[in-house]
Amino acid sequence: MEYYDRVFERPDELPATWTDQEFEQCLFKKLDFSRTSFAGSSFINCRFEDCSLVYATLKNTKLYDVTFVNCKLAHVDFGLCNAFGFHVDFQACQLDYTVFLNRKLKKAQFIDCSLKEAYFVKCELTGSVFTNCDLELAKFEENDLTQVDFSTSYNIELDPENNKLKKARFSLHNLPGLLTKYGLVIRN
């Protein structure tokens, strides 16, 4: 079924199933989608506000220009999404334990997010911004981090030899996290 320019904010007006559905320019507000399967569905120019998507399943889900604001997305595997046209932005979201595997995230916005133990592997994050994000124990492996701005984020720990970092921006307080593998003791 196709839904266009709709606002979903009451449980009684939701579709019976979330698989193989199409949503365009829809707004989802204050809904609990925890453990919901969105397999095969498409979300185009949609926005989620104050929603919980903890453990949501996104197998072959299309996310084209989707924005999440103040949402809980812990344990979501974005690597299962349809890669074609994939683009997401996050503001004030809890993204702990999420997985981004082989995703193109050019110019993605991560603003005021918790990304504890998030997993970024083989992603293209060129020009993305991590503004005031907690990256405690987040893993960054084999990514293109060209021109990524980490300058206001904290708890960053990544291997510069295992990621492309050309013109990436860091603050001075980020430097110890870039040198962790060398076992150095760095003092103020």
Q: Of 132, 176, 169, 121, whose CA–CA distance to 154 is shortest?
A: 132
**Position 151 in a domain:** yes
Residue 187 lies in a domain: no
Sheet holding 129-131, edge to edge: 7-8, 27-29, 47-49, 66-69, 88-91, 109-111, 129-131
Residue 185 has pLDDT above 80, yes or no: no
Regarding whether 106 and 67 lie in a shared domain, the answer is: no
Same domain? 116 vs 145: yes
- Considering the domain boundaries, does residue 33 fall inside one? yes
Q: For position 1, what pLDDT does the model report?
A: 83
Whether pLDDT at 136 is above 90: yes
Q: Are residues 34 and 109 in the same domain?
A: no
Which residues constitute the domain of residue 164?
Answer: 95-182
Residue 82 clears pLDDT 80, i.e. is over it: yes
CATH number at 110 reads 2.160.20.80
| Tokens linked to 124 | 């293209």
Q: Give the number of domains in the chain.
A: 2
